[in-house]
Amino acid sequence: MYLYNSATHKKEEFQTHTPGRVEMYTCGPTVYHFAHIGNLRSYIMEDVLEKFLRYEGYDVNRVMNITDVGHLTSDADEGEDKMLKGAKRENKSVMDIAKFYTDAFFADCEKLNIKVPEVVQPATGLIDEFITTVQGLLDKGFAYFAGGNVYFDTSKLDSYHVFHNHEEDALDVGVREGVEEDSNKRNKNDFVLWFTKSKFEDQALKWDSPWGVGYPGWHIECSCISMKFNGEYLDLHCGGIDNAFPHHTNEIAQSEAYLGHPWCKQWFHVAHLNTNSGKMSKSKGEFLTVSLLEEKGYDPIVYRFFCLQSHYRKGLVFSWENLDNATVAFQKLISRIAALKPDNGEVDGAVLAEYEDKFKSLVGNDLNTSMGVTALYDVLKAKTTDATKLAILASYDKVLSLSLLDKAAKVREEQAKAQTAKAAGGYTVTGEGDPAIDALVLARGEAKKAKNFAEADRIRDELKAMGVEVTDVPGGASWKKV
């Protein structure tokens, strides 16, 4: 397997510190609000990466943090804590906010078929470890106390800029957007390891420390959580490209200073999801969530399919038109899979192995999920039994996680119901010969008959998003593409 390494700016053969085992860390959410679908693009791609590593035979230990303290509204360690901001917005406690949005995040993950990592650790659960690491950095001469805070001293490093080869002048205080002057810093790139009450009197969560009552900085939590659950050598660190600097840069600085040896070799960064007006962000008000997609009649798995059609290192443009196109393509794919007969022939083990090897070769080239999706159509065209095709598709879906066979089985079930209803002189659906759409129109009719009008409206909106117009007629409904 080959992956692009953000630290070396080139594609490299994937290797691990311990053969056959992957210590994997993914930056988790700051749980002060709902995750928008731009955030979730990164988690989808990280999920595919983990599942592909398992598909390749690796034992994967994936660790994720939950940031429930320490992440300030500016990357320059300025502004208020995002958790406090969320608590003020909703007039709740920080811990209530953290629990609510942590639960909401994992509910979204479930809808998107994103696997929960082996270890999920809230930052507030490891305060003692943070304090120990900060003290260690002070003892080693990599940190200093000033103005009530503990800072990491970047001047003690041989190299600081890892991912983007930033020019020093480009990071002058007040020049780079978002950087504000902090007179306590010895160097403009220094960052806070521990804040005390002398700086943020209204901080909701505080702990005793050798430097006064305060709370940890954002960057220190990921290093400590990884070192605790992944060990001293991390094989693979993942996150959105916006975390590369300063967050991941600072993680490397403090981790290697503390450990005294190289920490993480492979860095995996996912590009932004953009709208027509630019990068999607909560601050801009472009707040598209999984729940909003559902309210508009879209299956969250279609959004996953939409993401997989693009390479993770390329910016992806979201629009409702693009999602509509993905919906149509996904429904057609499911229809073609539903047309396969599970009892048609035996599974040919040799063909299955051949296609699995092809899939590993395609997706293993820098996690090329678009080629992985294309491989699904190649399976449908293969000259083999339907049972073999279904076995190959099930194998691929261990990585892609699009619920292909479950959705196809549901279409077959709806088709059978439609045939039974038609034979019994019941609700009849006529259209343009697409079994998947026939099944949806039938389901809408059954929902109306049961007076479940909310479900009928939801299916109508889903059909509308697919460009399908439904007309009710005596004894059933007819549909057409518009």
Query: Using one digit for the tens of pLDDT, what is the confidence trace for 317-368?
Result: 999 999 999 999 999 999 999 999 999 999 999 999 999 999 999 999 999 9
- Return d(Cα 169, Cα 63) in angstroms, integer: 36
In which residue ranges of the chain is CATH 1.20.120.1910 found?
298-403
User: Of 3-12, 218-227, 415-424, 435-444, where does mean pLDDT reach its minimum?
Assistant: 415-424
Share of the chain above pLDDT 90, in %: 71
Residue 451 · residue 463 · CB < 8 Å: no
CATH superfamily of 17-270: HUPs (3.40.50.620)
Nearest one of 25, 18, 70 to 193, comparing CA atoms: 70
CB 412 within 8 A of CB 338: yes
3-state secondary structure string across 108-120: HHHHCCCCCCCEE
CATH number 1.20.120.1910 given to 298-403? yes
Least confident of 13-17, 70-74, 187-191, 240-244: 70-74
pTM of the model as a whole: 0.86
Average of pLDDT values for 382-400? 98
Every domain of the chain with CATH number 3.40.50.620 lies at 17-270
Look at strands 316-317 and 78-81 and give their pairing. unpaired
Residue 167 pLDDT: 39
Q: Which residue has the higher pLDDT, 179 or 97?
A: 97
Cα of 175 vs its chain's centroid, Å: 32
Between 230 and 476, whose confidence is greater?
Answer: 230
CA-to-CA distance for 240 and 312, rounded, in angstroms?
Answer: 10
Taking the alpha carbons at both ends of the chain, their separation in whole angstroms is 44
State mean pLDDT over 148-167: 83
Q: What is the pLDDT of residues 186-216, one digit of tens each?
A: 999 999 999 986 555 667 789 999 999 999 9
* Mean per-residue pLDDT over the chain, rounded: 90
Residue 83 has pLDDT above 90, yes or no: no
